[in-house]
Amino acid sequence: MEYKEHFLKGVVEFFPKQFKDNRGWFMESFNEKAMQQAGIPTVFVQDNQSVSFKNVLRGLHFQKPPFAQAKLVRAVAGRVLDVIVDIRKASPTYGKHLARELNADQNNLLYVPEGFAHGFLALEENSVFLYKCSSYYHQESESGLCWSDPDLNIDWGVKDPIVSEKDKILPAFKDFVSPF
Ligand SMILES: Cc1cn([C@H]2C[C@H](O)[C@@H](COP(=O)(O)OP(=O)(O)O[C@H]3O[C@H](C)C(=O)[C@H](O)[C@H]3O)O2)c(=O)[nH]c1=O
């Protein structure tokens, strides 16, 4: 499977080959060997799926160690703007973010290591987001950062997304002490 390493260390984007014929198309959406070839040692234990109306923004979320999660994320329907923020204190790209469109045409997948806050904006109605996690959900370990934080300076392309009450009160980056 073709892949590309991004400037944030450990972040890899995969581009599965689509086999098209007169019935439609086929692709391998996950292949452990492809992960190993990209130098990713992760074992996944949980799949998550969410459906979002257009302009829904979920994030920026992470689980604190020892329940930190690496994720392999993709849009299986619609389009999303996926954003990850490096919150690894010792990283030279601490506080920097990557924004990538994930869509059901390209079927690109993004591998997000532990130590990143993650969120996405649904660019189309009923965008279906499917992702693998390397640790189980642990509600008490959930944390996050404010999606519109001025210091993170993320251009989401929308001014007034639909955000959960929980996400509306996530902390500012300037007050943040990373657990990574
Ligand atoms: C994440 C999760 C949630 N839940 C329950 C808890 C709530 O009752 C309900 C909705 O959860 P939440 O509002 O946290 O869902 P999202 O806002 O989509 O959260 C996710 O959004 C961003 C994009 C992420 O990267 C994380 O995986 C995750 O935080 O599902 C579970 O039962 N298991 C789970 O693994």
Q: Is the pLDDT reported for residue 102 higher than 90? A: yes
Which of 88, 123, 80 is CA-nearest to residue 11?
88
What pLDDT is recorded for position 100? 98
Ligand 1: residue of 137, 142, 165 to mutate (most ligand atoms within 8 A of CB) is 137
Query: Are the beta carbons of 158 and 83 closer than 8 angstroms?
Result: no
Span 93-109, mean pLDDT? 96
Which range (28-42, 55-69, 74-88, 129-143) has the least confidence?
Answer: 28-42
Any residues with CB less than 8 A from the CB of 144 and at least 6 apart, and which? Answer: 59, 60, 61, 62, 117, 167, 170, 171
What pLDDT is recorded for position 42? 84
Query: Are the beta carbons of 78 and 125 closer than 8 angstroms?
Result: yes
Query: Are the beta carbons of 65 and 134 closer than 8 angstroms?
Result: no
- Cα of 49 vs centre of ligand 1, distance in Å, is 9
Burial group, residue 41, by CB count within 10 angstroms (0-12, 13-18, 19+)? exposed
Q: According to the CATH classification, is domain 42-175 in 3.90.850.10?
A: no
Average pLDDT score over the chain: 97
- Cα of 56 vs centre of ligand 1, distance in Å, is 14
The pTM for the full model equals 0.96
Q: Is 71 helix (H, G, I), strand (E, B) or coil?
A: strand
Report pLDDT digits (tens) over 11-39. 999 999 999 999 999 999 999 999 999 99
Assess whether 131 carries a catalytic annotation.
yes
What pLDDT is recorded for position 41? 85
Domain residue extents for the chain:
42-175
Looking only at Cα atoms, what is the longest distance across the chain? 55
